[in-house]
Amino acid sequence: MRILLVEDEQGVANFIKKGLEEERYTVDLVTDGQAGLEHGLTGQYDLLILDLMLPKKSGFEVAKGLRDTGIQTPILMLTAKISVQDKVKGLDVGADDYLTKPFSFEEFLARVRALLRRKQTEMIKLEVGDLEVNTLSHRVFLDGKELVLRPKEYAILEYLVRAKDCVVSRTQILENVWGYDFDPTTNVVDVHIKSIRKKLEELTPKEYISTVRGVGYMVTTTPK
Ligand code: CA
């Protein structure tokens, strides 16, 4: 879990960073709103802890800038003192939770955990068009109807859906689904893909898995 901390008060920043690192989170610290926005825009964080009053850009501007470009990283906003209007404004621009300074580290950690859990729950369901893959129950639904797959078929489809809109090679599929100990001359991937396609065809005329000649397979977000 990687956390971006945007906080200009050195004492508070060090206290939070040290505490989170003791809990085994990875923490990157930046001390102004501009840097916060730039780091946040990389999309590589699981959570943002964002102070409201910051040099260069306020916490509001950072949150809004991220949401406007489609970055959905959960945001926990930290404020010295907050009015109801500020709270509403913060929620409107995309903050997920608030904490007023000074706060106890226990409460802070509880909120961090809650926001990270929420993110994990969202990751359980992967969606491509009308296809929904539940990575917890390992079940797949197409427009609400279940696609009954064998374990290896499921693993291939989940791998393709995770890589959606990118071509994956037979070798990549073999490595990820069967592990490294496979016979490179095998046609087992093609056989399984054929079977998944057949099952999909019973439920939809759309082609979710396309063949990219000489390269491999791809699941597309806009099946035709
Ligand atoms: Ca501040």
Residue 38 and residue 117 in one domain: yes
Cα(52) to ligand 1 centroid in Å equals 6
This model's pTM is above 0.75: no
Task: Say if strands 139-142 and 145-147 run parallel, antiparallel, or are unpaired.
Answer: antiparallel
Residue 103 and residue 128 in one domain: no
Q: Which of 89, 92, 82, 41 is nearest to 62 (CA)?
A: 41
Neighbouring residues of 205: CB distance < 8 A, sequence distance ≥ 6: none
Among 90, 121, 152, the domain boundary falls at 121
Count Cβ atoms below 10 Å from residue 123 Cβ, excluding itself: 10
In a domain, 9, yes or no: yes
Residue 115 and residue 129 in one domain: no
Query: Is residue 82 over pLDDT 80?
Result: no
Query: Is residue 52 over pLDDT 90?
Result: yes
Residue 83 and residue 191 in one domain: no
Cα(60) to ligand 1 centroid in Å equals 12
CA distance 95 to 71: 12
49: amino acid identity, one letter: I
Cα(53) to ligand 1 centroid in Å equals 4
Residue 133 and residue 212 in one domain: yes
In a domain, 42, yes or no: yes
CA distance 27 to 11: 16
Residue 97 and residue 27 in one domain: yes
Residue 98 and residue 144 in one domain: no
Q: pLDDT per residue over 207-222, tens digit each?
A: 999 999 989 999 988 8
Query: Is residue 10 over pLDDT 90?
Result: yes
Among 88, 121, 154, the domain boundary falls at 121
- Three-state SS at 153: helix
Cα(30) to ligand 1 centroid in Å equals 12
- Three-state SS at 117: helix
Residue 181: the pLDDT is 64
Structural domain span for residue 186: 124-219
Query: Is residue 27 over pLDDT 70?
Result: yes
Cα(55) to ligand 1 centroid in Å equals 8
| Residue 209, domain CATH | 1.10.10.10
Residue 25 and residue 115 in one domain: yes
Cα(7) to ligand 1 centroid in Å equals 6
Residue 6 and residue 117 in one domain: yes
Residue 13 and residue 107 in one domain: yes
What is the tally of structural domains in the chain? 2
Among 121, 155, 187, the domain boundary falls at 121
Q: pLDDT per residue over 116-133, tens digit each?
A: 887 666 667 889 989 999
Band of residue 180 on the pLDDT scale cut at 50, 70, 90: low
Torsion angle of the four alpha carbons 188, 194, 200, 202, in this order, in degrees rounded to the nearest 10 = -130
Cα(25) to ligand 1 centroid in Å equals 22
Cα(61) to ligand 1 centroid in Å equals 14
Residue 22 and residue 70 in one domain: yes
Residue 57 and residue 144 in one domain: no
- For all residues of the chain together, what is the average pLDDT? 89
Backbone angles phi, psi at 106, to 5 degrees: -60, -45
Cα(119) to ligand 1 centroid in Å equals 26
- Which spans in the chain are helix H? 10-22, 33-40, 59-68, 84-93, 105-124, 151-162, 170-173, 188-201
